Chain A
Amino acid sequence: MAARTDVWTTLTDPLIRQNPVTLQILGICSALAVTTTLATALTMSISLTVVLTLAAGLVSVIRRHIPETIRLIVQIVIVASLVIVIDQILQAYFAEISRALSVYVGLITTNCLVLGRTEAYARHHAPLPAMVDAFGNGLGYSLVLILIGGLRELFGKGELFGHQVLPLADAGGWFTPLSLMLLAPSAFFLLGLLVWTVRSLYPGQTEAPEHTPPLRAEPAE
């Protein structure tokens, strides 16, 4: 029973409370780059979750045989091989989305999230918990990506998955697209607001202030 709750918390913790993007600010490079539409965000989420889960499993299986000194190289080789497979599959079956994602699928190799999980967790745990943890982290990442991608596509174009949801003003509706949402800064704003929301819900996650303001405002001369 205890083991089962353990697996359950390993899986669900990274969804919101220990979310890798909002708490550890890992993997935001791709989170900012691929979230202009929901379709690319979803593809990226699935690719990353698959790569992360498989890589964690593989690293965990051979964890007692990896020499300590070259462990990063071994991990990157494993991750890179998986990424190449995923990239080829995407190019073969989803050519259009693959073009939209451009270099970012390849960059999963260097995604801090993947290395962070294999280095911090999979290297010290049995394959099953390692894969569960990796899957949970992949889901947490996906949650953030899909949320931001959905918001950006909805308010930037009035569409979801390419289908018109909000009637555009040009076509006789009431919605004027917010073209700022399609630019990179809006992803920063949305991610910042999301982190703010999560940290208001879990005040324990707030960082210690860098400066303490004076108790009483000192009037200038």
Chain B
Amino acid sequence: MTRGLWSRETVALMLLAAYLPLALFWLWFGGAEALARLGLSLLVVGVWHLVFLLARAQPPSLAALITALAIAMLAPEGLGGFRMILGISFGVVMGELVFGGWGRNVVNPATVTLSFLGFGFPAFAWPVFDDPVAWAAIPAALIAGVTGTVPVAVLASAALVGAVAAASGVLPEQVLFAAGIVLVLLVADPVTSAATTLGRWINGALYAGLVTLFATGWAGAAPVQIAVAAALLTSLAVPLLDEIALALWIARRRRRHGRT
């Protein structure tokens, strides 16, 4: 595409378009309740973006829609309005907006929100996805990958490791579904996933590896809980992965050319 077309908002719009199949299938199967959750999270995320626009002149981003969709899809069920508002406020403000808005955050705000809700209110049940919703993650990943808004290396390496784990029979079907949706929605996010090619391959593999580890060793955890915990740990490790990839690159340059 021509230079100048790709701004932050183009990426956000493209991601939104990619997530449409997932969102539509989820809404179709979730019905009015899903719509209400989406509306609530949209409202809260939107209000915080507005607050930061007015208080710190931070341009709001369409990525708010993506965050709201991810939270509405993956948050524990039956939390009630107050807890949802608390969790979303915490995640969106501390995970994204204090860093300067979408594009400067270290962790995905939706990941922060979901971890907060999961650790803060462990009594509530995590959602379970119908098969068609989980399958809709594949077209979403394809659209995002082909348009280049989501790093393909992350998706590919996670899919590879996940396929090996699933073939050897350690990943139950529900965990596989949840991990796929979380991979598309949270882990492969262009801002918080790795920025170097090597880092991206390790990023995806690390995520799939953590999911496998939790699925085998974490007794009593819900599939979505496993995937969200793996996503949080992976996104915290991502800057380190990038740093390693850059250090390797610099060392190789130095060995071959005597300078960087």
Contact = CB atoms under 8 A, between A and B. Distances in A.
Interface of A: 176, 178-181, 183, 185, 189, 192, 196, 213, 217, 219-221
Those 5 A-B pairs whose CB atoms lie nearest each other, nearest first: A180-B120, A220-B6, A180-B119, A219-B4, A178-B120
Interface of B: 3-8, 83, 90, 94, 98, 100, 116, 119-122
B67 to A, nearest CB: 19
Contact of A221 (B3, B83, B116): B3
Contact of A219 (B3, B83, B116, B120): B3
Contact of B7 (A181, A185, A192, A217): A217
A179 B5 CA distance: 46
A219 B119 CA distance: 39
A189 B7 contact: no
25 contacts: A176-B83, A178-B120, A178-B121, A179-B119, A179-B120, A179-B121, A179-B122, A180-B119, A180-B120, A181-B120, A185-B119, A189-B90, A192-B94, A196-B98, A213-B100, A217-B7, A217-B8, A219-B3, A219-B4, A219-B5, A219-B6, A219-B7, A220-B6, A221-B3, A221-B6
A166 B122 CA distance: 20
A185 B112 CA distance: 12
Contacts of A220: 6
B121 to A, nearest CB: 7
Contacts of B83: 176
Contacts of A217: 7-8
Given A189-B94, A219-B3, A183 B119 contact: yes
Contacts of B4: 219
A185 B83 CA distance: 18
A158 B14 CA distance: 45
